[in-house]
Amino acid sequence: MAGVVDADGNILEKVRTETPDKSKSPKVVEDTIVELVLDLSDRHDVHAVGIGAAGWVDADRNRVLFAPHLSWRNEPLRDRLAGRLAVPVLVDNDANSAAWAEWRFGAGRGEDHLVMITLGTGIGGAILEDGQVKRGKYGVAGEFGHMQVVPGGHRCPCGNRGCWEQYSSGNALVREARELAAADSPVAYGIIEHVKGNIGDISGPMITELAREGDAMCIELLQDIGQWLGVGIANLAAALDPSCFVIGGGVSAADDLLIGPARDAFRRHLTGRGYRPEARITRAQLGPEAGMVGAADLARLVARRFRRANRRRVERYERYERYVEARRSSQDSA
């Protein structure tokens, strides 16, 4: 997804295309990005390009160290694209970009200590303090999804067991629903009927929709996910002590069905509860476009810095030229 975003975070135009196959080379992904940007540049005056990449971005925000769904491995994405696009390019992690957007234009406005948690297929996260994204020494801070919450628990694709995202994410929600349906549990009859027995068709949005319509099992599953969310948030509060947690990602569409139980569990598990101020837990406002809006806004900042540095360089050069000119004329008159 690519879009043109103005200085107030409004999306002026948006285009979408298929993500190239993971097996394809980074070159194919790069070509796709360039194509989208050039297409939008035909109709808009583009000053900078920001990329919210679903992967680990290094501390210099140049290389994508690893991306689970693309072929990027230590890929110098920023330099490659800057060479082809002729405008300043910024690359950041997608959760960092989304957190930035929520802080600038969304649910986190006015919060100087904010933690963003994105519940999608897994859990992404980001930390913002005093208007700065905390990236860590190596650029990969905020990978909250792989904190261990259940020793010896569910196996995670990351190689460990019991990671937080195995209990509180879209994948966890769907896995639990399918397990209940496969066990032919009476509580699952509603959803089994809904998918006409094709358990593989059960999806996260479907569970949310059924929960809204009052399906007891779906409500319960969202409560479980929400409860685990609250436990993890309490742990993060112990470590980071922010004033606000913004919950984004696809699963956050369940809104109070998820966030209500999360708040309850957070209060029950918060260390020092009753003797410390409680952080606000709120749903993200910008939806699936948050990452794009945030990346664009971060790129705008980089471009401004770039223009300022450029102006200083030009001014220095002009001063030098005046100096040379002045010497020449003084020598001439001598």
Q: Taking contact as CB under 5 A, which single stretch among the options 10-18, 46-54, 149-157, 192-200 is the one that binds Zn ion?
A: 149-157
Q: Which is nearer to Zn ion, 68 or 205 (CB)?
A: 68
Q: Closest by alpha carbon to 5, among 222, 320, 293, 287?
A: 293
Supply the minimum distance, in Å, between the C-beta of residue 260 and Zn ion: 26
C-alpha angle 133-134-137 in degrees, rounded to nearest 5: 135
Check binding of 146 to Zn ion (CB under 5 A). Answer: yes
d(CA 22, CA 29): 9
Q: Which is nearer to Zn ion, 20 or 55 (CB)?
A: 55
Check binding of 37 to Zn ion (CB under 5 A). Answer: no
Strand 2-5 and strand 11-15: the pairing is: antiparallel
Check binding of 156 to Zn ion (CB under 5 A). Answer: yes
Q: Taking contact as CB under 5 A, which single stretch among the options 89-97, 115-123, 163-171, 232-240 is the one that binds Zn ion?
A: 163-171
Supply the minimum distance, in Å, between the C-beta of residue 121 and Zn ion: 12
Check binding of 188 to Zn ion (CB under 5 A). Answer: no
- What amino acid occupies position 277? P
Check binding of 123 to Zn ion (CB under 5 A). Answer: no
d(CA 285, CA 11): 14
Check binding of 163 to Zn ion (CB under 5 A). Answer: yes
Q: Which is nearer to Zn ion, 158 or 199 (CB)?
A: 158
Concerning whether 94 is annotated as a catalytic residue, the answer is: yes
Contact between residue 223 and residue 261 where contact means Cβ atoms under 8 Å apart? yes
- What amino acid occupies position 265? A
Q: Which is nearer to Zn ion, 68 or 131 (CB)?
A: 68
Check binding of 158 to Zn ion (CB under 5 A). Answer: yes
Supply the minimum distance, in Å, between the C-beta of residue 190 and Zn ion: 31
H helices of the chain, in order, are: 26-43, 77-85, 94-105, 170-182, 189-194, 204-212, 216-240, 256-269, 290-333
Contact between residue 93 and residue 126 where contact means Cβ atoms under 8 Å apart? yes
61 DSSP assignment = S
Active-site residue, from 94, 130, 264, 332: 94
Check binding of 212 to Zn ion (CB under 5 A). Answer: no
Interface residue list for Zn ion (CB under 5 A): 146, 156, 158, 160, 163
